């Protein structure tokens, strides 16, 4: 049985009498979720059944209207087939965003944020290294009045090298950008509708959801969460990719690298001026200074080449932004109207 819900009595003048008309609420408002859980997925067929079971169990028990926004980031395995079955199983809460190719984790999250309808948006990785059972921990902190709640891994289950490099990156990122985040790589986070709208309005090519959320937040908070070993599959982030991401992060949120080269340039101008004077004097007394001079020139050229490359990174980011090309393309959206 389908029940029509009416609300808001509206007075209507009819001659000398006053009657009241009932105004029907749109179905989209009636069914609007309070919480959106956005999960990017790339070749995760091994963990999807367990992930889906645990996330729905946790959110059902939480007791507030919610939706699952599952983003298929161009998976080449059978991930999309399982997601389609999830949609058929619970079309009232499961919504699928199927991208036309692999655009990367952050772009997949951005696509999910674009489609999320909730007032509170939670981001979770599909690998369950941050257990779905920790979602209520983040939501409880959010409901204390914060507009952004980040998380950090209390007891990391990664290798010592990965843990050490992550901590080093966090320190460097804080020093370079001034953005205070304990654990940038922990993706379990909660965002207010206002923060997500601000992120959606950003059109950067290299977008960092967690960092942008923290930057836009007026009343941020953090909470510690459990961290488990990856159950199946392998991490999509190798050393080279992590280095690329962090370089994009520094050039996307800070002018400090350029400023450091400005100060370095001034310092080297002073040093080379002194050496030039010393070289002129030594020309009259010692011919062996030539080798030292050539070595120093080569050293300066290496710094100059690196500086040009750094400047090129900033110009490249501006170039991509000016082009205005879409950051991702959506092949299909599965959503019950």
Highest mean pLDDT (candidates 126-140, 171-185, 271-285): 126-140
What is the pLDDT, as a whole number, of residue 106? Answer: 86
Give the model's pLDDT for residue 27.
46
**How far apart, in whole angstroms, are the C-alpha atoms of residue 185 and residue 66?**
25
Residue carrying structure tokens 């901590």: 167
Residue 263 pLDDT: 67
pLDDT of residue 209: 83
pLDDT score for 210: 81
3-state class of 62 per DSSP? helix
List pLDDT tens digits, range 59-115: 999 999 999 999 999 999 999 999 999 999 999 999 999 999 998 888 899 999 999
Q: Which of 33, 35, 39 is nearest to 96 (CA)?
A: 39
Q: Residue range 45-70: average pLDDT?
A: 95
Region of 2 (left: φ > 0; alpha: ψ -120 to 50; beta: rest) is: beta
Q: Which has the closest alpha carbon to 327: 135, 107, 136? A: 107
Are 113 and 38 in contact, with CB atoms under 8 Å apart? yes
- Of the two residues 277 and 92, the one the predictor is more confident about is 92
Instruction: Say how far residue 10 (Cα) sits from the centre of its chain.
Output: 45
Q: Is the pLDDT of residue 10 over 70?
A: no
CA distances from 294 to 280, 288, 297 (A): 14, 11, 5
Which has the higher per-residue pLDDT, 281 or 334? 334
C-alpha 37/C-alpha 69 separation (Å) is 6
Distance of alpha carbon 60 from alpha carbon 66, whole angstroms:
8
Query: Tokens 């001659």 sit at which residue?
Result: 15
Please report, for residues 22, 42, 59, the alpha-carbon distance to residue 63 in angstroms, rounded to integers and kept in the order given: 30, 29, 7
DSSP annotation of 259: H
Owner of token pair 């109207």: 337
> Residues 75, 43: contact at Cβ < 8 Å?
yes
| pLDDT surpasses 60 at 16 | no
pLDDT tens for residues 136-192? 999 999 999 999 999 988 876 556 666 666 666 666 666 666 667 777 778 899 999
Q: Given this model, what pLDDT does residue 21 score?
A: 40
Q: Supply the mean pLDDT for the chain.
A: 77
For residues 120 and 147, what is the distance between their CA atoms, to the nearest angstrom? 9
CA dist 140 to 67, 146, 168, 297, Å?
A: 18, 10, 30, 60
Q: What is this structure's pTM? A: 0.67
| Mean pLDDT of the region 233-262 | 59
- For residue 283, is pLDDT > 70? no
Structure tokens at 244: 């690329």
Tokens of 306: 């690196």
User: For 287-333, what is each residue's pLDDT tens digit?
Assistant: 555 656 666 676 677 667 677 766 766 676 676 666 666 778 899 99
Structure tokens at 251: 């050039």
Average pLDDT over residues 7-15: 41
**Domain spanning 32-253+329-334 has what CATH number?**
3.90.550.10
Q: What is the pLDDT of residue 25?
A: 41
Cα dist. 87→81, 97, 242, 297, 331 in Å?
Answer: 10, 11, 33, 64, 16
Percent of the chain's residues with pLDDT above 90: 39
Q: What does the block give as tokens for 204?
A: 């950067």
The pLDDT value given to residue 115 = 94
């Amino acid at each position: 049985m389908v029940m029509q819900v009416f609300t808001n009595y509206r007075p209507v003048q009819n001659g000398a009498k006053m009657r009241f008309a009932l105004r029907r609420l749109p179905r989209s408002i009636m069914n609007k979720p309070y919480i959106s859980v956005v999960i990017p997925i790339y070749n995760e067929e091994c963990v999807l059944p367990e992930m889906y079971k645990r996330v729905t169990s946790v959110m059902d028990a939480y007791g507030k209207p919610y939706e699952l926004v599952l983003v298929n980031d161009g998976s080449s395995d059978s991930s999309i087939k399982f997601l389609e079955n999830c949609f058929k199983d619970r079309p009232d809460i499961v919504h699928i965003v199927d991208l036309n190719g692999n655009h990367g984790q952050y772009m997949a999250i951005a696509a999910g944020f674009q489609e999320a309808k909730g007032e509170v948006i939670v981001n979770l990785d599909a690998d369950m290294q941050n257990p779905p059972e920790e979602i209520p921990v983040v939501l409880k902190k959010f409901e204390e009045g914060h507009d952004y709640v980040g998380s950090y891994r209390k007891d990391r289950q990664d290798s010592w090298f990965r843990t050490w490099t992550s901590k080093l990156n966090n320190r460097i990122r804080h020093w370079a950008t001034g953005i205070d985040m304990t654990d940038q790589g922990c993706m379990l986070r909660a965002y207010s509708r206002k923060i997500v709208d601000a992120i959606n309005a950003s059109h950067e090519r290299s977008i960092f959801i967690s960092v942008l959320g923290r930057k836009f937040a007026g009343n941020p908070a953090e909470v510690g969460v459990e961290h488990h070993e990856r159950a199946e599959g392998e991490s999509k982030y190798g050393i080279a990719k992590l280095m690329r991401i962090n370089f994009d992060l520094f050039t996307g949120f800070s002018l400090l690298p350029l400023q450091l080269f400005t100060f370095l340039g001034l310092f080297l101008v002073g040093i080379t001026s002194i050496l030039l004077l010393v070289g002129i004097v030594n020309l009259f007394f010692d011919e062996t200074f030539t080798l030292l001079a050539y070595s120093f020139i080569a050293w300066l050229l290496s710094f100059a080449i690196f500086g040009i490359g750094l400047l090129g990174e900033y110009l490249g980011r501006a170039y991509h932004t000016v082009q205005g090309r879409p950051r991702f393309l959506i092949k299909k959206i599965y959503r019950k109207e």
